[in-house]
Amino acid sequence: MKDNSTRQAWRIGLVAALLPMALGSAAQSGLKWHSPPASPTIAHSANAPTYPSNAVQASAHPIDVRSFEAMAQQMVAGGRIPGLAVAIVQNGRVLSARGYGVTDARNGEPVDAHTVFRLASLSKSFAGTVTGILVNDGVLRWDSKLTDYVPDFKLSQPNAAQQVTVADLLSHRVGLTRNAYDRDLEGNADFHALTMKMANAPMTCAPGQCYAYQNVAFSLVGDVVFAATGQFYSEEVARRIFKPLGMHDASYGLEGIEASARWAKPHVRGRGGWVPLMPKPNYYRVAPAAGVNASISDMAQWLIAQTGHRPDVLPAPLLATLHAPVISTPSELRGSSWRRTRLSSAGYALGWRAFNYAGHDLVFHGGAVQGYRGAMALLPDHDIGIAILWNSESALPSGLLPTIIDNVLGLTGGQWLDDDVTAPEPTMYADESGPAGVDASAATASPE
């Protein structure tokens, strides 16, 4: 594995504590489940960020969020984008959690702090966290084999399926080609049918040996949770994460977002401007990968927990393990201008990306499905979390995140808000994707 600036030993630290997350559909696939005994393996990662051991940590001076709120307001002015919501937390406090613009370009209903957005691949951080909680409980191990819980799972190479671990699922190290079967998923294929197709799918490496971003394979962790707990994945997440953190607007699935008191409609560009649509159900079928719906108020609570201020739910050793890079992802150093300029190393952890941003640890994930985009980031050494959600396919708001980060770090010279409004972000679009049944290069919006 190569790293152009700082060579790191990308390895996983197996810990003992985790946060709750469960999905509300039957177990993800129709494969059979088995529940073997498990005990936690506990080991700390040498590459893990440092977090407070209790809910009180003094950081530098709180940042002035007014300028960023003004930037967000300017983005929705004149219909440049329909709606936007931004949360900034520091030292366990919500500095800002506000909505801007409208939920629907046709009716003008305003976005507020409790407007629900589709999170797309930001959902992966919940999957890693709820799995970790089960490790902490002694229900699972990070090195538990997938076939111990889903014995019907098969891969094309002899004995490969038996090598896949829970940690491999959560860090995209199954060995399949990137975004395997995403295009089929977008074509309304059944999730169970796609998991069965993996028995004939080409592999690029042995499990655990290489990185290739996945949505279908990643979501087999939902089957593991179901087999280990007897609870549907969404229910386990709600019980272990949403409820204790006070994420009152959060839900899973199409029914969940449509049942919300207020939710943002997805928008695509039309000849006359932004056109609202109804949400597509496709990626809701892979709930661990892309099934969460949440408001920016919910995301503020998620950021507070992920920055170490809810140790009753999410202990510091667990956070360190979830956020520590497991495998190098050099493709993330390319793409948008802030990546090319600021990032010196990139890796994938357990449902999170781990970057070196101008010499600082940055924990990140982006997400995209039709009509929705989102990004969230943690700066552990500054005790800051940022989340941005928007209901359109514009790339304009993605420049706000590095702008805030630069301000926190005292960096100058970045003009990230000047990036092409329609330019695709590497972690937001299916740029890592190929043909149906193998890769998903023709996929329209892989929720990465």
d(CA 129, CA 318): 8
HSE-CB at 202 with a 13 A cutoff on CA atoms is: 10
Confidence of residue 63 (pLDDT cuts 50, 70, 90): confident
Q: Name the one residue in this structure whose structure tokens are 């979390």.
A: 385
Flag the least confident range among 244-253, 400-409, 428-437.
428-437
Are 324 and 313 within 8 A, CB to CB? no
End-to-end CA distance of the chain: 22
d(CA 29, CA 26): 8
**Mean pLDDT computed over 207-214:** 98
For residue 107, give every residue at least 6 positions away whose Cβ sits within 8 Å of its Cβ, in sequence order, or none.
none
280's tokens: 């597509």
Q: Tell me the domains of the chain and their CATH numbers.
A: 66-418 (3.40.710.10)
> Max alpha carbon distance in the chain (Å)?
59
DSSP state at residue 40? -
Q: Which of 264, 275, 293 is nearest to 103 (CA)?
A: 264
Each residue's pLDDT tens digit, 392-426 = 999 999 999 999 999 999 999 888 987 544 333 33
Each residue's pLDDT tens digit, 303-359 = 999 999 999 999 999 999 999 999 999 999 988 999 999 999 999 999 999 999 999
357's tokens: 């941003």
Each residue's pLDDT tens digit, 74-118 = 999 999 999 999 999 999 999 999 999 999 999 999 999 999 999
**Mean pLDDT computed over 281-295:** 98
Three-state SS for 88-118 is EEECCEEEEEEEEEECCCCCCCECCCCCEEE
d(CA 215, CA 425): 17
Q: Which of 436, 440, 354, 2 is nearest to 178 (CA)?
A: 440
Angle between helix axes 66-76 and 400-409 (nearest 10 degrees) is 170
